[in-house]
Amino acid sequence: MSTDPHPFSTATRLVQAGLHRSGFAETAEALFLTSGFVYESAEEAAATFEGKLERYQYSRFGNPTVRMFEERLAAIEGLEACRATASGMAAVHAALVSALKAGDRVVASRALFGSCHWIVAQLLPRFGVETEFVDGTDLAGWARALARPARLVLLETPSNPMLEILDLPAICDLAHRAGARVIVDNVFATPLLQRPAEFGADIVVYSATKHIDGQGRVLGGAILADGAWLKEVVEPFLRNTGAALSPFNAWVLLKGLETMALRLEAAQERAARIADFLADQKGVARVWYPWRADHPQHELARRQMKGGGTLVTFALAGGREAAFAFMNRLRLIRISNNLGDSKSLITHPASTTHSRIGAEERARLGIEEGVVRLSVGLEAAEDLIADLGQALAAA
């Protein structure tokens, strides 16, 4: 039995969409921790492999718990279909590679998550794909790059770690005129704060590891798009290359979705307060938070997003030395490159997540030595502010 989620609001979909109960009529989503499925007869197996019968065969192809996660996320995103993957990078990789062949062109914004940048800069050119990076906030740059035909456009908004906001309607329009489909890595916004398809994007990818789990437990990813494209292009690639999401992880992520709106709202409220607090501190040179009026793309953020999110980026006036001293003095907020956790986490991008891209590329992206990225969790705002305050005073 399945519930039809579509008449309901997002809050209801987060809890009920995609729920398929087994014959035992369990309340919570069942965890089908099985690699394979059995057939009643040899004929049934043969008919399944001929494609005459649609049923579960093997968990690399599909699994009921994974299916529930895919249906729930699709219902929240408002896109037709979803395929879950083992990690966010498996989702980005599959969305790109499944649609590309030698001779194709890919245009991407420069401010990408480190591994996404590596796929575009290093991996794709090895297979004869031409790739070009543009400054994501420069529409003239997009127009120049998309004056020639392209197969795909990949971008991230808000970007990691500088929280740049990219103009989705304008970029999607330029991309479509160049014959390209647009893939948006929507990890920082989540489907609750931004639905890229409403602004023209064709494909949305997630690292479910972040806010969807939201409690730092499992890796997972997802690709959302129209059903035909997913079935024809992405599905054969995923079935045969094996980046399948574990049913256990899918179950954790399903339960994560149930509380995502509550967690996100609470963490976002703390993040906004913390951004304002930091902006007033001596020793903090600059704060980037999309909901603050001093954010360079503030107006655009207000048009495209429903909230400022849970990440706050700021620069310490004293460069790397001050940033390290400050981070080392934090007691409650821990140093980690992960984000979207209920625990607040801080990272120094220039020496960790963005160390490999080199100083020149970091300079182009504005990732200075004093920049730190804070992922705000669910601890009390007063405690987080006190921790930041004492570490700043000491640094």
Enumerate binding residues for ligand PLP (CB under 6 A): 87-89, 92, 113, 116, 156, 160, 185, 187, 207, 209-210, 219, 221
Closest approach of ligand PLP to the CB of residue 339, in Å: 6
Beta strands in 42-161 (DSSP E): 81-85, 105-109, 130-134, 152-156
Closest approach of ligand PLP to the CB of residue 372, in Å: 16
Is the CB of 37 or the CB of 118 nearer to ligand PLP? 118
Closest approach of ligand PLP to the CB of residue 85, in Å: 9
Closest approach of ligand PLP to the CB of residue 250, in Å: 14
Residues 6+ apart with CB under 8 A from 184: 155, 156, 157, 168, 196, 201, 203, 204, 205
Report the C-alpha gap between 301 and 308 in whole angstroms.
Answer: 8
Cα within 13 Å of Cα(311), Cβ side: 26
φ/ψ of 249, rounded to 5, equals -65, -40
Strand pairing class (203-207; 221-225): antiparallel
Is the CB of 219 or the CB of 230 nearer to ligand PLP? 219
Which two tokens mark 245?
């999401």
Closest approach of ligand PLP to the CB of residue 348, in Å: 16
Is the CB of 79 or the CB of 116 nearer to ligand PLP? 116
- Nearest to ligand PLP by Cβ — which residue? 88
Q: How many CB atoms lie within 10 A of CB 338?
A: 13
Which of 54, 51, 50 is CA-nearest to residue 62?
54
Is the CB of 3 or the CB of 347 nearer to ligand PLP? 347
Report the C-alpha gap between 321 and 324 in whole angstroms.
Answer: 5
Q: Could you tell me if 112 and 161 are in contact, meaning their C-beta atoms sit under 8 angstroms apart?
A: no
Closest approach of ligand PLP to the CB of residue 11, in Å: 25
Which of 91, 98, 56 is CA-nearest to residue 243?
91
Is the CB of 158 or the CB of 307 nearer to ligand PLP? 158
Report the C-alpha gap between 189 and 315 in whole angstroms.
Answer: 22
Closest approach of ligand PLP to the CB of residue 185, in Å: 5
Closest approach of ligand PLP to the CB of residue 152, in Å: 16
Residue 282, phi-psi category: left (phi > 0), alpha (psi -120 to 50), beta (remainder)? beta
Is the CB of 73 or the CB of 219 nearer to ligand PLP? 219
